[in-house]
Structure 1
Amino acid sequence: MAVNTQTWWQQGRVVEADDLAEGVRRIVLSPDRPVHATPGTHVDLRLDLDGHVRTRSYSVLRSEDGGRRLTLGVQLAPSSRGGSRHMHGLEVGDVVEMTGPVQSFPLGVGADRYVLVAGGIGVTALVAMADSLRRRGADYTLVLAGRRRAVMAYLEELADTHGDRIRVFVDDEGVRLDVDALVGEIAGGPAPARTEMYMCGPIRLMDAIRRAWVAHELPEPNLRFETFGSSGAWAAEEFVVHLPQHDRSVAVTTDTSMLDALEDAGVDVMWDCRKGECGICQVKVLDVDGRIDHRDVFLSKKQKETNTSLCLCVTRAARGEPERSEPAAVTLHLP
């Protein structure tokens, strides 16, 4: 059962499509019912993936002409469950089913300083924020981190636009982002209690930043985030979900999520963000045969260590031992 913050669906026509960077596609949609998208918004799309209708969320890079042109940036994920492959196949004239802009990552007003941190394709959630802060004349820094320049979307354009406000870290150039040093600069800088950080990127980066933020005793409400991707401790593998209350078991393949597999099997589940952020799809864990690979940012470190609950939308199970042949399994109690 979906619990979605946006109530209407409409059609959107692809009016432009081209490459932003290696493996990153720019797609401009023209919706039937245009609404201007404020910084931090995303749109949900219903995609037909191998005969199954899936909902996928994409950040709005830019909103132009009163929302008549909404630009998305989509990275072709190596472990894609089909969404990014489908999006990369869209051509001008194609029509998709979409929501209007959904605001779940709003940019605040009134902070003394803003720090925006993007890991990889997470930059798509922060481009509009950086542009807005520049227009306001705010004190801000835009931090971009990636593995290679060739895969970092909008890098040159952002550097031209934001000048010395931008800091770039590229792994293969030997210049890696030091999370603790970055957060330490905020803690030791002017007005740390009135500095807000907005971050979007892989879950491991988000977790590292949150740990550093807490360690430096900065105000937790001043740290805002949106996740991108669901990188885990182990590569995705097939596992089994046992549901004693339904007297059934459901197999989860490598290219689908637990949430999608349960819905395909006709099991009624609650969800909203599908990114491991909101906790609406959290369920109780009764037993584990193998290891749980928590990929959410909702549960605390302690909750993940105890394995008493998990978020269906991003969590997976793994054998954890290379020599083991049978798949991992988790036994759940659904609300």
Structure 2
Amino acid sequence: MGATNNEVWQFATVVATRAVAADILRIELEPDQPAKADPGTHVDVKVQIGETTDKRSYSIVESLDEGKVLAISVQRAPASRGGSIYMHTLTPGDRIEITQPLQNFPLRIGAPKYILLAGGIGVTAIAAMASALRQVGADYHLVYAARSSDVMAYGVELQKEHGERTTLHLDDEDGLLDLDALVKEAGGATELYMCGPIRLMDAVRRSWEAAGHSLPNLRYETFGNSGWFEPEEFEVAIPRLEVNVTVGPGVSMLEALETAGVDMMFDCRRGECGLCEVRVGDLDGEIDHRDVFYSERQKDASAKMCCCVSRVVSHTDGAGSTPGVRQPRIIIDIP
């Protein structure tokens, strides 16, 4: 049974679209029932994938004219399950169903200093926060890292808006971002907000803990689909329910179980809330934990997993998945 998170659905009209980077499309929506969109909010969107209607979440990059126009940006993912492909087909005049703005990543005003860290398309969740902090005269440092300039959406605009408070980092030119140095910049009451791939956020969290900084001052939102290894096909079984399902590379375990008729609990679908937790009985392979819900100790134990984002891969050598002779398989039970 899926939780609704008090969603209020409405129709919206696509009023403009434009490419803001390679495979990244900015989509401006005019909702039928405009509502204020605070920094950190997102909208859920009904997407059409073949004959199936599904839901995807997209951060609100910009709220224009008191929420009468909401701008989101969608990256067409190479391993898309179909949602981003659908969004990239939208053109002005199209009508789609969206929620009113939903808040899972609030910005707290009043800290003595802020560090805002965006990795790749994670800038969509961070950009509005930077604008809000600039407007209230806060002390902040915006750091935006991307693989290369062609995939750095809004880089020029952010540099122009925030000037010296902005650090743009390109991996192909500057190497890996020095996260330890960034974390050392944080004072005792500094709050760090970040959104990006799971590898980036996991590294920041480790560095933050090692520096002895306050964990409540580290706040984040994840893509919910980025992992440590390339997705593989695997089998999931629930003996008590006599269920045996194949999970393809482009499908989540949660989606595969829903399709098989299993009544599943879930809410965020991004590995943040833990509501979709399943218990692991037996495992042939390894769990690619893609959530930000469990601690490192819980992930190492591999006794539970968030089935909305985490997957099973072949046994690994520490550098990446190495497909074996047998298909990865997991036996689970659900609450």
Aligned to 2:13: 13
Q: Which runs of 4+ in 1 moved over 3 A?
A: none
**Quick check: 16-25 or 312-321, which moved more?**
312-321
Distance 1:88 1:168 in 2: 26
2:2–2:267 CA contact under 8 A, matched in 1: yes
Aligned to 1:50: 50
Structure 1 residue 323 displacement after superposition:
5.8
Matches within 5 A, 1:236-255: 236-255=231-250
Whether 1:269 and 2:279 are equivalent positions in the alignment is no
**Quick check: 47-56 or 136-145, which moved more?**
47-56
Report the TM-score, using the length of structure 2 for normalisation: 0.96
Whether 1:205 and 2:185 are equivalent positions in the alignment is no
Aligned to 2:287: 292
Structure 1 residue 283 displacement after superposition:
1.2
What root-mean-square deviation, in Å, do the aligned CA atoms of Structure 1 and Structure 2 show? 1.2
Report the identity percentage: 50
Aligned to 1:280: 275
Matches within 5 A, 1:163-242: 163-186=163-186, 192-242=187-237
Equivalenced residue count is 330
Distance 2:302 2:195 in 1: 26
Code of the aligned partner of 1:173: E
Structure 1 residue 298 displacement after superposition:
0.7
Distance 1:67 1:55 in 2: 21
Structure 2: tracts of 5 or more residues without a match? 317-321
1:6–1:99 CA contact under 8 A, matched in 2: no
Code of the aligned partner of 1:99: T
1:60–1:125 CA contact under 8 A, matched in 2: yes
Aligned to 2:329: 329
Aligned to 2:78: 78
Offset from partner CA, 1:216-270 (integer Å, 9 cap, x none): 1111111100012532232111111101121111111111111111111111111
Report the TM-score, using the length of structure 1 for normalisation: 0.96
Distance 2:60 2:303 in 1: 35
Structure 1: tracts of 5 or more residues without a match? 187-191
Structure 1 residue 175 displacement after superposition:
4.1
2:114–2:140 CA contact under 8 A, matched in 1: yes
2:197–2:227 CA contact under 8 A, matched in 1: no
Distance 1:279 1:229 in 2: 12
Distance 2:150 2:17 in 1: 19
Distance 1:64 1:159 in 2: 20
**Quick check: 5-14 or 320-329, which moved more?**
320-329
Aligned to 1:311: 306
